[in-house]
Amino acid sequence: MATNGRATSHGRTLRVAGAQIRNVVGDLAGNAEQILAAMSEAEEAGADVVVFPELALTGYPLADLVLRKEFVNAAAATLDELACSSGLVASVVGTVARVPSRRSWDIHGRDVAISAAVLFDGQLRGAYHKVMLPNYEVFDEARNFAPGSRPDALWRIGEVVAGIAICEDLWSGDGPPEAQAAAGAEILLVPNASPFHQEKPAGRHAHASEVARRNATPVVYVNCVGGQDELVFDGGSLVVDANGELLHRAPQFETECFCLDVPLGPPRPVAGKPITVHARPRSPRRQMPAPASAPEMPADAQVWRCLVLGTRDFLLKNGRSSAVLGLSGGIDAAVTAAVAADALGPANVLGVAMPTPESPAEELHDAEVLAAGLGIEYHVIPLEGITSAVRDGLAELLDGTPDERPTEGLAARTRAAILWAISDQLGHLPLATGNKTELSVGTAAVHGDMAGVFAPLKDCPKTLLYRLAALRNQRGSAIPQRIIERPPTVRTDAWGELPGYAVLDQIVERYLERGESLDDLVAAGFAAPLVRRILQLVDDSEFQRRQTPPGVKITTRAFGQDLRMPITNAWRPYATDHGPPVAVPLNPVRGDPPGTE
Amino acid sequence: MATNGRATSHGRTLRVAGAQIRNVVGDLAGNAEQILAAMSEAEEAGADVVVFPELALTGYPLADLVLRKEFVNAAAATLDELACSSGLVASVVGTVARVPSRRSWDIHGRDVAISAAVLFDGQLRGAYHKVMLPNYEVFDEARNFAPGSRPDALWRIGEVVAGIAICEDLWSGDGPPEAQAAAGAEILLVPNASPFHQEKPAGRHAHASEVARRNATPVVYVNCVGGQDELVFDGGSLVVDANGELLHRAPQFETECFCLDVPLGPPRPVAGKPITVHARPRSPRRQMPAPASAPEMPADAQVWRCLVLGTRDFLLKNGRSSAVLGLSGGIDAAVTAAVAADALGPANVLGVAMPTPESPAEELHDAEVLAAGLGIEYHVIPLEGITSAVRDGLAELLDGTPDERPTEGLAARTRAAILWAISDQLGHLPLATGNKTELSVGTAAVHGDMAGVFAPLKDCPKTLLYRLAALRNQRGSAIPQRIIERPPTVRTDAWGELPGYAVLDQIVERYLERGESLDDLVAAGFAAPLVRRILQLVDDSEFQRRQTPPGVKITTRAFGQDLRMPITNAWRPYATDHGPPVAVPLNPVRGDPPGTE
């Protein structure tokens, strides 16, 4: 049954459609329309089964929306309608399902499962409930969902025995796929809602192949597409055969309904008791030509598409189609503007330069050239009159204050107030231009550089922005070379001397994404005093990160739900004798604070 | 052994100390000092055992700080030092402990447990690991912690068999306390980190009594004290006897080390195998007089103390001792100012009135009287010059724009920019004055009314503020009566007519805190069109809530970690034909957005 350890299908195939749709959280009617359309398409293609993404009907992630009884009821009612419309293609539709209340590791019963409903010939034939509920990084499924209790459920679809597993179920090495293959599954159908980060696409491919090889079953991995708050689901659905070889790859960041004949795994005894979806023998048909696979995208191109889709979907799904942002002549604003132009169309983006008298004329000029290059609207509002009005207002209060600190914070927050005022009047959504590096070390003024309703570059390290600018310029040099080549300013005032971004970004990534410690970083060759200063800045800046708008996750660990530290945190192992940097607004102190009242 | 179903101890007692300490997250050295001091005190009192709160050594909650290996190592090293210092009082010390990696409902192994270490005579004698890990509302313990695997562990302390259970362990009705009592425990020692909400203190008391009665064991419930970001741990530790009768209640919002002789539950066969902490017979001693219990605090007084402690600890634990806020002459600012004055001392609070030409002179006067009444510093900065400078700057861009919307957002954000500028110069931390009602229905301008580093009243419904003002005025009429009596303005412009706050707050509370649906609310007598409008406003305002500063949780469900909805959420079952209100910046749309690029 196997040659050289390779699984052979003995010529048996299942015609499988995968519907990589672009669903929206909470949009039951709209998602159902997409599902119905794909069901029709699969029927036309003569598919035996069509697989939809995880929570295709409800959208993902649902957060506490799933605690609303009316929502769960409405999803159930919509599923019933879908079931009524189902034909002779077995349809595996992700949704939520009410289940008997089940406790996990606490006292709180959960009574909703993440479900893959199987629809056929006008009926709901059954449902698989996700067993593994990820509860780490961006995931919090154990918060609101009950785990499924039938990891080894099997489904008879005509002459074929299939297993269904959902997303996390696939990844454990001894989970539902293994139980299903052992019980007799010849193919694994796997709905997913798998958000993008830079290492995800390669990881999924390697992993799906491994599961296929381990169990000698083909794996049909169907993902969704679209931005949802901080996450972007990048599609890239995969079909691998029982030897782990790629049969099909859907494109990333786009919808696709594909259909292909998948050679089954070797026949095996059926130990389990499959739920019969139907027992119709298959009518003879010719093998269909394999659809063309999407090519692998280069790494930075994936990031660009992710930023564009995440930004577009945040605005469009929330009823807005235009944006406003500040143009400084720097790289952050340039890349943000280019992302916005690609996401919304340049005619829907307004760039506003808000120079101070100290702003170099060259940078103002670059902002104008950038706007022209991108084709976005451009406007200049000098800041001087406004900030001097604020300074006049403060003069009496601050009279005699010896501290003449730089007014960068004031300028940044005044710019933000102007952008909000424009937004109030014109309806454009304000975009923040800050990047991950400055958010990491706390050099972004709260409600200043990071002010906005969405922050496209929130998870982009500074060094990545230069690569992205160069990449974008391959489609016409919209971003002036001078912006790309101007050496970035690394703030050295209150923070002490920081290294160049190349070093800074490496240290931050190793600390936040790789979990490396001070010792690890020193062993890797970074100077200990430098590492201590940076790690302490990262830890001390948590409060600033809590008030930033959502942005697009692209790295393995993004600030937000993914990476949450206590704001009040007296564990400061990296602090030096110099004490905390003065410009960080909050500096945890040790010891028992004075007693109450 | 029991009379009338009541458990009797046959005269056997355990002398138990409880250390209701005020620990700080991450402050291993400072927390250890407090623990050592309480261990000494317990030794002097001749205690057999001293019980500390959950995670007493590390602070609670740790969020992703516990993923830092160095932190877990440092906690272990500090625990070793505490163990070396332990004497002949068994000390139950909450901390984190490395354990063999254990999977829960996902593929991710956790290798740190929430632990209660038992120290005695210079040694670590063992540790109990929390079995039930709450993962709902404000809790996310299943994210990072491994559950304990020995719910029925027992401890021999001299002649007594004790059980140890941690916080959530106590609440299931069939958890560790039941297993321990069945196995032979005569007393339950329970470390907690239990945050305040209005219904918590009464709930804890009722529950501890129930567990005691069910198992015929006394329960020693020890909580910690202090503010940690959005949570306030209110102390209020309890000791109940085997019949559930209160033996001692520690004060709320203050530290206390208490010690008392606790009558044990009836002797029972020991089915388990207790870990021997020690087998020293107890030297004869006289029964000690019972310490005085703290009286029950009235409900609103608890809230006031909670707000004051939460605000104080956020500032002091983060190295700040002074605050600045805007004084409008309204009730929100008045109560915030009073909380700040009580938290920091009036000399450390600066109130800034920022009137526009339209601001009623009466309200400006009230702000001044308020400042004088509280004894806080007061300053006036007229807004007109600044906002007109912004309007001048915008004139050219907006020329011909027909929409002459109110500039409330501009005024609010300009005020915020002024407060931030004062903070930059003088070091005072800016406090936001917004309340829960306006955050619920989205009438607070992002980065305007809710701008600041901390928002004391974030979880206080508007109607509660009037009661709190009256309560505060019992200590001298600092808040002018005119502020309390002035009818609140309920915005009626873009939001449509809203009801008075009394009705609004009821609907919001029932929806968010009680989980009531539209149907429930209508059945309760509220008009359907009104309920629909309010529920939709609540759902549509999520994005604004994501950018607010932390505040003090006082209700059963607070915005933040406790109550998280998707921002992008097309489920709008309450939307009427009028469409979404125009002033809500984000309005989810249904249907598939246009394709990518």
Q: What is the ipTM of this complex?
A: 0.93
**3-state class of A278 per DSSP?**
strand
Q: Where are the alpha helices (DSSP H) in A357-513?
A: 361-374, 384-398, 408-426, 436-441, 462-473, 481-485, 501-512
**3-state class of B563 per DSSP?**
strand
End-to-end CA distance of chain B: 80
For residue A546, list chain B residues with Cβ-Cβ distance below 8 A: 549-550
Q: Taking the model in full, what pTM does it have?
A: 0.94
**Pairing, β A323-326 against β A349-353:** parallel
Confidence of residue A404 (pLDDT cuts 50, 70, 90): low
**pLDDT above 60 (res A265):** yes
pLDDT, tens digit (0-9, with 9 covering 90-100), for A416-475: 999 999 998 888 999 999 999 999 988 877 777 788 999 999 999 999 999 999 999 999
- Whether cis (ω within 30° of 0) applies to the bond prior to A61 is yes
A83-108 mean pLDDT: 95
Nearest to A319 among B425, B588, B595 (CB): B588
Q: What is the set of active-site residues of A?
A: 54, 130, 167
According to the model, what pLDDT value does residue A499 have?
79
Confidence of residue A587 (pLDDT cuts 50, 70, 90): very low
> CB–CB of A567/B429 below 8 Å?
no
According to the model, what pLDDT value does residue B597 have?
34
How far apart are alpha carbons A60 and A77 in whole angstroms? 18
Q: Residue B379: beta bridge partners?
A: B352
Which residues of chain B fall below pLDDT 70? 1-5, 8-9, 400-407, 490-497, 576-597
Output the DSSP codes for B44-71: HTT-SEEE--TTTTT-S--GGGGG-HHH
How far apart are alpha carbons A126 and B529 in whole angstroms? 38
Q: Residue A227: beta bridge partners?
A: A232
How far apart are alpha carbons A567 and B493 in whole angstroms? 37
Nearest CA in chain B to A588: B318
> CB–CB of A496/A533 below 8 Å?
yes
> CB–CB of A160/A265 below 8 Å?
no
How far apart are alpha carbons B94 and B82 in whole angstroms? 12
> CB–CB of A307/A460 below 8 Å?
yes
How far apart are alpha carbons A568 and A559 in whole angstroms? 17
Decide if A255 and B595 are in contact by the 8 Å CB cutoff.
Answer: yes
The residue type at A65: L
Nearest CA in chain B to A23: B592
> CB–CB of A546/A458 below 8 Å?
no
Dihedral angle sign, alpha carbons of residues A43, A48, A53, A59: positive
> CB–CB of B374/B394 below 8 Å?
no
Nearest to B571 among A71, A144, A570 (CB): A71
**pLDDT above 50 (res A285):** yes
> CB–CB of B401/A425 below 8 Å?
yes
A113-125 mean pLDDT: 98
Nearest CA in chain A to B341: A597
Of A492, A487, A488, A438, residue with least CA distance to A460: A438
- CA A506 distance to own-chain centroid: 22
- CA A312 distance to own-chain centroid: 13
Dihedral angle sign, alpha carbons of residues A29, A31, A37, A40: negative
**Pairing, β B6-7 against β B2-3:** antiparallel
According to the model, what pLDDT value does residue A594 have?
34
Nearest CA in chain A to B344: A597
Q: Is B109 in CB contact (< 8 Å) with chain A?
A: no
> CB–CB of A56/A94 below 8 Å?
yes
Q: Is A174 in CB contact (< 8 Å) with chain B?
A: no
Of A566, A64, A135, residue with least CA distance to B135: A135
Place of tokens 């068999």: B161
Q: Residue A92: beta bridge partners?
A: A51, A118
How many residues belong to chain B?
597
Tokens of B428: 């005072």
CA distance A268 to chain B (A): 27
pLDDT, tens digit (0-9, with 9 covering 90-100), for A304-348: 999 999 999 999 998 899 999 999 999 999 999 999 999 999 999
Going by the DSSP 8-state scheme, the letter that residue A25 receives in this structure is T
Instruction: Find the helix packing angle between B361-374 and B331-344, rounded to 10°.
Output: 20
Residue A257 dihedral angles phi and psi, to the nearest 5°: -110, 115
Decide if B228 and A566 are in contact by the 8 Å CB cutoff.
Answer: yes
CA distance B463 to chain A (A): 25
> CB–CB of A378/A347 below 8 Å?
no
Nearest CA in chain B to A421: B410
Among residues B33, B44, B81, B130, which one is catalytic? B130
How far apart are alpha carbons B190 and B448 in whole angstroms? 44
> CB–CB of A49/A17 below 8 Å?
yes
Instruction: Compare A400 and A501 and report the one with higher pLDDT.
Output: A501
CA distance A461 to chain B (A): 21
**3-state class of B3 per DSSP?**
strand
B259 in active site? no
Tokens of A273: 């008791």
Tokens of A468: 């992205």
Question: Looking at chain B from residue 455 to 474, which residues have their Cβ under 8 Å from any Cβ of chain A?
Answer: none
Q: Is A587 in CB contact (< 8 Å) with chain B?
A: yes
Decide if B106 and A342 are in contact by the 8 Å CB cutoff.
Answer: no
**3-state class of A109 per DSSP?**
strand
> How many CA atoms lie less than 13 Å away from A186 in the CB half-sphere?
24
Place of tokens 């983006």: A349
Count of CB pairs separated by less than 8 Å, A with B: 424
B167 in active site? yes
**pLDDT above 80 (res A85):** yes
How far apart are alpha carbons A356 and A364 in whole angstroms? 10
**Pairing, β B219-222 against β B13-20:** unpaired
Of A69, A237, A357, residue with least CA distance to B515: A69
How far apart are alpha carbons B44 and B87 in whole angstroms? 11
Q: Is B453 in CB contact (< 8 Å) with chain A?
A: yes
Output the DSSP codes for B324-357: EEE--SSHHHHHHHHHHHHHH-GGGEEEEE---T
Decide if A413 and B416 are in contact by the 8 Å CB cutoff.
Answer: yes
B158: region left, alpha or beta (phi > 0 left; psi from -120 to 50 alpha):
left
